[in-house]
Chains A and B, each alone.
Chain A
Amino acid sequence: MYSADIRQPLVTAGKTYSDVTADVCRPIENKPTNSWWLGFSIGVLLLLLLVVTLAWTVWEGIGVWNTNKSVMWGWDITNFVFWVGIGHAGTLISAVLLLFRQKWRMSINRSAEAMTIFAVFCAAIFPLFHMGRVWLGFWPLPLPNALGSLWVNFNSPLLWDVFAISTYLSVSLVFWYLGLIPDIATVRDRATSKARKFWYGFFAMGWNGSAKSWGRYEVVALILAGISTPLVLSVHTIVSMDFATSVIPGWHTTIFPPYFVAGAIFSGFGMVLTLLLIARYVMNYQDYITTQHLEAMTKVILLTGSVVGLAYITEFVIAAYSGYEYEQYAFANRMFGPYAWAYWTMMFCNLMAPQVFWSKWARTTPWFIFIISIVVNIGMWFERFVIIVTSLHRDFLPSSWVMYHATWVEVGIFLGTFGLFFTCFFLFAKFLPVINMSEIKTIIKDKE
């Protein structure tokens, strides 16, 4: 086993195999703590808000949103892109970092993948309800239908999005579940109650850790990582094409795919840090998610934040240089128009704030990282808001220029998706092993 003395151990406090099992299974095998109940209750309350606002939207029609002006995408698609972006870190951590053999991924990949799946659930709500008639949500699927033989349009990036996001969700679920099987088997074999034996036994699919199965399992995991890597890049590329293939000034740029992918990784890591810093504190996982892990993640934030910042500047320079007055106006309007506050919030949060991570102190101080991770989340929401709203609210015809403000329903749906996200996450933290035990056990003797 390779180890150099200058490297730090990945799991501290000299944990043994059985310590790992005991630590990771503790939340599953014991009654939930008060902090779990608190977090879960807040999640459920916000989830109720989601149910109410969505029900109201369906009952009354999407006229209850303010999106029926020239800003047809408004908060809705802003939130969609925001959540899909967050959904990128999980697969990135487990797939790309696996291919790069970054062992620090092992303590965080499980929860990051869970986060991915829940974020994609949240994201899917927005385009579905934006259709107005959510019960016709199956229309984008290539199904034979009663409208003659009219099929879906394969030239449309919106259709590519349907395929990309549903593939991403299902492949992420498979990847996550495959990784969970050995750990579910561990919980099964420690189970004391009948229900737990049954359910964990059911989902463990008879796993017994045979060397033959492990051999296949590792190959399958590697190939899944290999195919998930282009998949994760393709998803946000296609999301960006929803914009880039249009002719709207401010959207019609070739820089969008790489810029959106970097932004997705950036926001995804921001959310992973926010969640893990809480989980690490609440569940006492400081020995598994060490400051070394936090430092590695902040470095990714620093890198991708700088890429995103560079993209903002490039985009601006190209617009200025293009000689195309509508494009020039779109960018001038972003910087100095009525939504300048949103633009500068975005610039501050995404370009400036992450630069503090050049300092070692900032990279290793949990409370400070937590603050910056929230700032990153806010910044990335504003990025999508700026792209969508500032480009749409003043189009080619000044007579149709409008200002756009969200209604309480739109705000409620957005807050409500946080409820869905946190409810799912707290349930996950209660019922499934949050840390990948079988992977961690291979590295507890290792150094980074």
Chain B
Amino acid sequence: MIDKSIILDDKKFTVGIFDDSDKLLHAVDTLKKKGVKIFDCYTPFPVHHLDRALGYERTNITIGAFLCGMLGSLTGFTLAYYMNVVDWPMIIGGKPQDITVFTSFIPVIFELTILFTAFGMVILFFARSRMIHGIKEDLLCRRQTDDHMVIAIDNAESQDLTNSEIQSLLTSEGAIEVDGSRVSFNTSLTDEEELVQQLMTQ
């Protein structure tokens, strides 16, 4: 196991916890309008338009996927052409075995394109999102993968509003819980007692 949390480090966060996605979106909008810099949001399901509200640009993973697909096509063609035309042409029934049989290479080229695209894209996704087997998950609320949604604001970041102003803003937006300095914790790698301790100290 990788005993390091690389996502949130030891940052302290001001968090607002919501139980409704519409309220969350509205709160993000309001905070953004007041010029508050939001670190990230954590939701149990994809909330529509949340990425736009947070000002995130559309990911360019698709470009990587396209390149992987091209590599797949090239691999498929090279494999078939080298093996069946260059290295060892199998002449069956006196039929030619050269570039004119390209059409019968198409199924393999097609399948390898899909294979490379799928795997390349998913690996890129994992790398970009810093996901790997055995990494510690950084949670700010135990129920953020169940039914609660979290707005996290990095305390180290300089904001126009004071911390208490942000907190009262979050409360007025309908947050069911607001916390001015929360550090991340994880559930899978710590003992239950340790976790309770962690939560108590927060």
> Residues of A at under 8 Å CB distance from B?
16-18, 21, 142, 148-155, 157, 159-160, 163-164, 167, 170-171, 174-175, 178, 181-182, 185-186, 188-192, 194, 197-198, 200-220, 223-224, 227-228, 230-231, 234, 238, 437-439, 441-442
CB within 8 Å of A: which of B73-107? Answer: 79-80, 83-84, 87-88, 90, 92, 101, 104-105, 107
In the complex, identify which listed stretch (B9-17, B144-152, B156-164, B166-174) lies at the interface while the others stay far away: B144-152
Separation of A238 and B42 alpha carbons in the complex (Å):
43
Separation of A50 and B101 alpha carbons in the complex (Å):
41
Contact B187 A211 (CB under 8 A): no
Decide yes or no: A153 and B147 within 8 Å by CB, A171-B114, A171-B118 being known contacts. Answer: no
Min Cβ gap A90→B in Å is 15
6 contacts between A and B (CB under 8 A): A18-B147, A154-B104, A167-B114, A197-B188, A211-B43, A212-B129
Complex contacts, B154 vs chain A, CB 8 Å:
none
Contact B117 A208 (CB under 8 A): no
Separation of A197 and B104 alpha carbons in the complex (Å):
50
Interface check B67, CB cutoff 8 A: no
Interface string of B163-202 (1 = CB under 8 A from A): 0000000000000000000000011110110000000000
In the complex, the chain A residue whose C-beta lies closest to that of B106 is A160
Complex contacts, B108 vs chain A, CB 8 Å:
154, 159-160, 163
New A-B contacts (15) at CB < 8 Å, excluding given A167-B114, A220-B61: A151-B84, A151-B87, A154-B83, A163-B108, A170-B115, A171-B114, A174-B119, A182-B44, A188-B188, A201-B187, A205-B126, A205-B132, A211-B47, A219-B58, A224-B122
Min Cβ gap B43→A in Å is 5
Contact B110 A234 (CB under 8 A): yes
Separation of A210 and B41 alpha carbons in the complex (Å):
6
Contact B45 A149 (CB under 8 A): no
Residue in B47, B101, B129 whose Cβ sees the most chain A Cβ within 10 Å = B129
Min Cβ gap B90→A in Å is 6
Min Cβ gap B19→A in Å is 8
Min Cβ gap B156→A in Å is 18
Separation of A223 and B125 alpha carbons in the complex (Å):
12
Separation of A200 and B137 alpha carbons in the complex (Å):
11
Partner of A238, one of B1, B44, B61, B107: B107
Contact A167 B115 (CB under 8 A): yes
Decide yes or no: A190 and B146 within 8 Å by CB, A167-B114, A220-B61, A231-B114 being known contacts. Answer: yes
> Residues of B at under 8 Å CB distance from A?
1, 7, 19, 40-48, 50-51, 54, 56, 58-59, 61-62, 65, 69, 79-80, 83-84, 87-88, 90, 92, 101, 104-105, 107-108, 110-112, 114-115, 117-119, 121-122, 125-126, 128-139, 142-147, 186-189, 191-192
Contact B107 A234 (CB under 8 A): yes
Complex contacts, A230 vs chain B, CB 8 Å:
110, 114
Complex contacts, A219 vs chain B, CB 8 Å:
58-59, 61-62
Separation of A171 and B137 alpha carbons in the complex (Å):
26
Partner of B84, one of A154, A174, A192, A207: A154
Complex contacts, B135 vs chain A, CB 8 Å:
205-206
Min Cβ gap A260→B in Å is 15
Contact A163 B107 (CB under 8 A): yes
Contact A214 B131 (CB under 8 A): no
Complex contacts, B146 vs chain A, CB 8 Å:
17-18, 21, 186, 189-190
Separation of A18 and B137 alpha carbons in the complex (Å):
21
Separation of A21 and B146 alpha carbons in the complex (Å):
6
Partner of A185, one of B54, B58, B61, B137: B137
Complex contacts, B188 vs chain A, CB 8 Å:
188, 191, 197-198, 200-202, 204
In the complex, the chain A residue whose C-beta lies closest to that of B81 is A154
Min Cβ gap A124→B in Å is 15
In the complex, the chain A residue whose C-beta lies closest to that of B189 is A201
In the complex, the chain A residue whose C-beta lies closest to that of B50 is A211
Separation of A234 and B114 alpha carbons in the complex (Å):
11
Min Cβ gap B146→A in Å is 5
Contact A209 B42 (CB under 8 A): yes
Contact B119 A170 (CB under 8 A): yes
Separation of A212 and B136 alpha carbons in the complex (Å):
18
Min Cβ gap A170→B in Å is 7
Contact B115 A206 (CB under 8 A): no
Separation of A152 and B125 alpha carbons in the complex (Å):
34
Separation of A152 and B105 alpha carbons in the complex (Å):
12
Decide yes or no: A192 and B50 within 8 Å by CB, A174-B122, A220-B61, A224-B118 being known contacts. Answer: no
In the complex, the chain B residue whose C-beta lies closest to that of A196 is B188
Residue in A160, A190, A206, A441 whose Cβ sees the most chain B Cβ within 10 Å = A206
Contact A234 B111 (CB under 8 A): yes
Contact A205 B147 (CB under 8 A): no
Separation of A233 and B50 alpha carbons in the complex (Å):
34
Min Cβ gap B180→A in Å is 21
Separation of A198 and B186 alpha carbons in the complex (Å):
11
Partner of A209, one of B145, B187, B189: B145
In the complex, the chain B residue whose C-beta lies closest to that of A197 is B188
Min Cβ gap B91→A in Å is 11
Contact B58 A201 (CB under 8 A): no
Partner of B129, one of A171, A186, A213, A223: A213
Contact B143 A189 (CB under 8 A): yes
Min Cβ gap A182→B in Å is 7
In the complex, the chain A residue whose C-beta lies closest to that of B144 is A209
Complex contacts, B79 vs chain A, CB 8 Å:
142, 154
Contact A442 B84 (CB under 8 A): no
Partner of B51, one of A154, A214, A223: A214
Contact A442 B46 (CB under 8 A): yes
Complex contacts, A148 vs chain B, CB 8 Å:
88
Complex contacts, A223 vs chain B, CB 8 Å:
62, 65, 117, 121
Partner of A188, one of B40, B41, B87, B137: B137
